[in-house]
């Protein structure tokens, strides 16, 4: 039985409204993420920020320097690493805000009536100035994020959404950039019948390309776009695969900043009628050719990465694909992905995944590889672009 003093029913309207508004506020702030997801996101962003600043810090012990003095030097380097990322005007604002927060000046004078002390508490104004500086930095970030999103849309337009129909093989590919835009490239497209001048080759052929530009983000993405444009242009002209790659290399050398911006690439030409795959590996991770029998060959014929030596020559390799054979082409972001223990994913684990799913279609095999890669790295931030292309002979 409920006594008259007890009330049954919904909470008062004011309290319910406050809870509703608080819930809506929290939902908007967190984008619906759980606390563990927020913590993992914070850890990822904090680690990425630390890596950005620590590149300019020399923390190695020096002979004759005491431990305390060394950490003071490291602190100074870290402070300047942060300060150098700001514009000169914002550096002044930051220093002024820090001075206001740390120092509270006092003015005193003596008269016949005694000593008078006036204190100035500038911490509030220092905090407001720091908040104003944060607003300026966020505005820059928003503008940059918008420009990067546009760049990403352009880059996705350059990459194929789905593989073309190639007689005799089934193909799947996927890429996952470490940042908004990537330096990895992949493509499969038909060459014009007149373009290939390989010996005894008059058949329709398809060009298969996977490339990795040195570096990440915008610089690598811009060079990836030039790689795609030059590949499409040169592949439409009558040339052998070796001539095509040498032309790509000469073009890359003119845009590589004396070899600093080189590109590793695996380029192959596949003829459906003969099932022959002619390839050149220009310093790229050696693709795996898993035969139906279970044996694995590495496609290593080729030469230097593109953009290093203008006069480089390239060796051509050739294999014949049979039903049940798998070709696995990947960038170093796959096998060099690391987990929280600092262990690399490695080619052995990739090979075991392929061996365990040879009856699957490439699209499902690709999904299995990506899921296993995610499980392996856990919450460790992705440090390099990931691209994988699978081809199964049928």
The confidence score (pLDDT) of residue 325 equals 96
Nearest residue to 170 via CA among 48, 272, 25: 272
pLDDT digits (tens, 9 = 90+) for 25-66: 888 888 887 888 788 778 777 777 777 777 777 777 777 777
pLDDT digits (tens, 9 = 90+) for 71-87: 888 888 888 888 888 88
| Spatial separation of the C-alpha atoms in residues 210 and 187, rounded to whole Å | 7
Nearest residue to 216 via CA among 185, 184, 187, 175: 184
Percent of the chain topping pLDDT 90: 40
CATH number of the domain located at residue range(s) 160-393 in this protein? 3.60.40.10
* Three-state secondary structure string covering 69-90: HHHHHHHHHHHHHHHCCCCHHH
pLDDT higher than 90, residue 19: no
| Spatial separation of the C-alpha atoms in residues 251 and 346, rounded to whole Å | 32
Q: Element (H or E) spanning 374, and its range?
A: helix 362-377
The confidence score (pLDDT) of residue 105 equals 67
pLDDT digits (tens, 9 = 90+) for 344-375: 999 999 999 999 999 999 999 999 999 999 99
Measured over the CA atoms of residue 47, residue 52, residue 53 and residue 56, the dihedral's sign is positive
Nearest residue to 290 via CA among 233, 363, 353, 199: 353
pLDDT digits (tens, 9 = 90+) for 262-284: 999 999 999 999 999 999 999 99
pLDDT higher than 70, residue 240: yes
C-alpha 392: how far from its chain's center? 27
Question: So where are the chain's domains?
Answer: 70-158, 160-393
| Spatial separation of the C-alpha atoms in residues 101 and 349, rounded to whole Å | 53
**Main-chain dihedrals φ then ψ at residue 296, nearest 5 degrees:** -125, 130
Q: Are 170 and 392 in contact (CB under 8 A)?
A: yes
The confidence score (pLDDT) of residue 388 equals 96
pLDDT higher than 60, residue 228: yes
- What are the structure tokens assigned to 289, written together? 């050719």
| Spatial separation of the C-alpha atoms in residues 78 and 84, rounded to whole Å | 10
314 or 180, which is more confident = 314
Residues whose CB is less than 8 angstroms from the CB of residue 217 and which lie 6 or more positions away in sequence, other chains included: 178, 179, 180, 181, 183
DSSP string of 298-362, one letter each residue: E---EESPBTS-TT-----EEEE--TT-EEEEE-HHHHT-B-TT--B--HHHHHHHHHTTTTS-H
The confidence score (pLDDT) of residue 216 equals 74
Q: Which pTM value belongs to this model? A: 0.71
Residues whose CB is less than 8 angstroms from the CB of residue 100 and which lie 6 or more positions away in sequence, other chains included: 122, 123, 125, 126, 129
pLDDT higher than 70, residue 306: yes
pLDDT digits (tens, 9 = 90+) for 155-200: 777 788 899 999 999 999 999 888 777 788 999 999 877 666 555 4
Task: Look over the chain and give the mean of its residue pLDDT values, rounded to a whole number.
Answer: 84
182 or 101, which is more confident = 101
Q: Are 281 and 302 in contact (CB under 8 A)?
A: yes
| Spatial separation of the C-alpha atoms in residues 185 and 78, rounded to whole Å | 36
Q: Burial of 264 by CB count in 10 Å (0-12 exposed, 13-18 middle, 19+ buried)?
A: buried
Q: Are 295 and 355 in contact (CB under 8 A)?
A: no
**E strands, the chain, in order:** 106-111, 114-119, 169-176, 184-191, 205-213, 263-271, 276-282, 288-290, 296-298, 302-303, 317-320, 326-330, 386-393
The confidence score (pLDDT) of residue 102 equals 84
pLDDT band per the 50, 70, 90 thresholds, residue 298: very high
């Amino acid at each position: 039985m409920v006594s008259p003093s007890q009330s049954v029913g919904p909470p008062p309207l004011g309290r319910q409204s406050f809870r509703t508004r608080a819930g809506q506020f929290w939902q908007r702030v967190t984008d619906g993420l759980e606390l563990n997801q927020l913590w993992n996101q914070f850890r990822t962003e904090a680690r990425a920020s630390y890596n950005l600043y620590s590149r300019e810090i020399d923390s190695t012990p020096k002979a004759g320097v005491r431990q305390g003095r060394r950490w003071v030097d490291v602190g100074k380097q870290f402070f300047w690493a942060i300060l150098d990322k700001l514009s000169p005007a914002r550096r002044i604002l930051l220093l002024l805000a820090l001075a206001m927060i740390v120092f509270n000046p006092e003015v005193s004078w003596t008269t016949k009536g005694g000593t008078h002390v006036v204190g100035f508490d500038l911490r509030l104004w220092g905090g407001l100035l720091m908040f104003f500086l944060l607003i300026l930095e966020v505005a820059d970030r928003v503008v940059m994020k918008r420009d990067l999103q546009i760049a990403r849309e352009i880059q996705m337009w350059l990459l194929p959404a789905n593989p073309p129909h190639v007689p005799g093989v089934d193909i799947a590919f996927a890429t996952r950039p470490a940042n908004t835009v990537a330096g990895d490239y992949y493509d499969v497209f038909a060459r014009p019948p007149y373009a290939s001048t390989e010996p005894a080759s008059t058949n329709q052929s398809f060009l298969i390309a996977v490339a990795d530009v040195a570096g990440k983000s915008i610089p690598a993405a811009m060079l990836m776009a030039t790689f795609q444009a030059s590949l499409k242009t040169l592949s439409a002209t009558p040339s052998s695969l070796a001539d095509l790659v040498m032309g790509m290399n000469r073009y890359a050398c003119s845009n590589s900043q004396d070899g600093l911006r080189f590109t590793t690439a695996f380029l192959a030409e596949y003829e459906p009628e003969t099932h022959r795959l002619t390839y050149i590996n220009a310093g790229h991770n050696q693709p795996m050719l898993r035969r139906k029998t279970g044996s694995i060959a590495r496609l290593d014929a080729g030469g230097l990465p593109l953009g290093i030596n203008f006069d480089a020559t390239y060796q051509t390799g050739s294999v014949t694909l049979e039903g049940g054979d798998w070709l696995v082409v990947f960038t170093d972001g796959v096998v060099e992905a690391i987990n929280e223990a600092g262990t690399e994913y490695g080619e052995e684990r990739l090979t075991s995944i392929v061996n365990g799913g040879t009856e699957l279609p490439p699209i499902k095999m690709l999904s299995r590889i990506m899921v296993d890669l995610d499980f392996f790295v856990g919450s460790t931030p992705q440090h390099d672009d990931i691209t994988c292309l699978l081809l199964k002979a049928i």
